[in-house]
């Protein structure tokens, strides 16, 4: 994430402060990957499954936990692949979805999305997690924090497999805003 998000900001600021935040945000979302060796726990007020369309919709106080990564939202739509009849087996995730498949294609979260991984937090109005491409797109009033460091924008694109990210302003001329605390501690690696 540091390569794209904070390159310009780090160059403009003192080397100590810039590099500390770049390092901190650089590792922010490595924990968002779906792990094959950790269970995924999902809780919500309601679950509706449309197995014919391979869709599971969780609504009301949705909490998703895997390892130290937590996702909270109002609504989570999970698109999953049906178990293939004959042929090759799909790439499996840790949790089986209705229909017997372990392959999640994508997740769509809406309504005050909150993601926490270790000491990093990201919030937005919506988020789409494409499990095949390993890309997360968070949109609508995106705020990322780690300690006293804060980054704000309208869109956040995260490549979960590489940790690279891009924070963008609104298309109507909005700008990205970053606040870096001078004495922010560097996360343990």
pLDDT classification of 153: cutoffs 50, 70, 90: very high
pLDDT classification of 12: cutoffs 50, 70, 90: very low
- Domain membership of residue 43 (yes or no) is yes
Annotate the chain with three-state secondary structure.
CHHHHCHHHHHHCCHHHHHHHHHHHHCCCHHHCCCCCCCCEEECCEEEEECCCCEEEEEEEEEEEECCEEEEEEEEEEEECCCCCCCCCCCCCCCCCCCCCCCEEEEEEEEEEEEEECCEEEEEEEEEEECCCCEEEEEEEEEEEECCEEEEEEEEEEECCCCCEEEECCCCCCCCEEECCCCCCCCCC
- Domain membership of residue 186 (yes or no) is no
Residue 172 confidence (pLDDT) above 50? yes
Hey, what are 167's tokens? Answer: 């924070």
- Domain membership of residue 138 (yes or no) is yes
Cα–Cα distance between 101 and 82 in angstroms, integer? 6
Structural domain containing residue 15: 2-179
- Domain membership of residue 189 (yes or no) is no
- Domain membership of residue 96 (yes or no) is yes
Give residue-wise pLDDT tens across range 85-141. Answer: 655 555 444 444 444 445 889 999 999 999 998 888 999 999 999 988 989 999 999
Number of structural domains (the chain) is: 1
- Domain membership of residue 174 (yes or no) is yes
What pLDDT sits at residue 58?
A: 98
- Domain membership of residue 184 (yes or no) is no
- Domain membership of residue 83 (yes or no) is yes
What value does the mean pLDDT take over residues 47-74? 94
Report the CATH number that the domain containing residue 8 is assigned in CATH. Answer: 2.60.450.10
Q: What is this structure's pTM?
A: 0.72
């Amino acid at each position: 994430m540091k390569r794209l998000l904070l390159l310009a900001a780090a160059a403009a600021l003192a080397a100590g402060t810039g590099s500390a935040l770049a390092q901190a945000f650089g590792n922010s979302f490595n924990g968002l990957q779906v792990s094959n060796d950790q269970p995924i726990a999902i809780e919500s007020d309601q679950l509706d499954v449309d197995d014919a369309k391979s869709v599971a919709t969780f609504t009301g106080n949705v909490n998703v936990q895997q390892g130290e990564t937590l996702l909270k939202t109002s609504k989570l739509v999970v698109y999953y692949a049906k178990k293939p009849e004959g042929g090759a087996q799909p790439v499996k995730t840790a949790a089986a979805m209705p229909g017997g498949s372990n392959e999640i294609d994508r997740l769509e979260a809406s309504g005050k999305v909150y993601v926490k991984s270790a000491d990093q937090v990201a919030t937005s109005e919506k988020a789409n997690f494409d499990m095949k491409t390993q890309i997360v797109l968070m949109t609508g009033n995106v705020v990322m924090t780690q300690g006293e460091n804060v980054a704000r924008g309208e869109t956040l694109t995260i490549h979960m497999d590489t940790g690279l990210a891009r924070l963008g302003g609104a298309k109507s001329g909005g700008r990205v805003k970053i606040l870096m605390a001078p004495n922010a501690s560097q996360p343990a690696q």
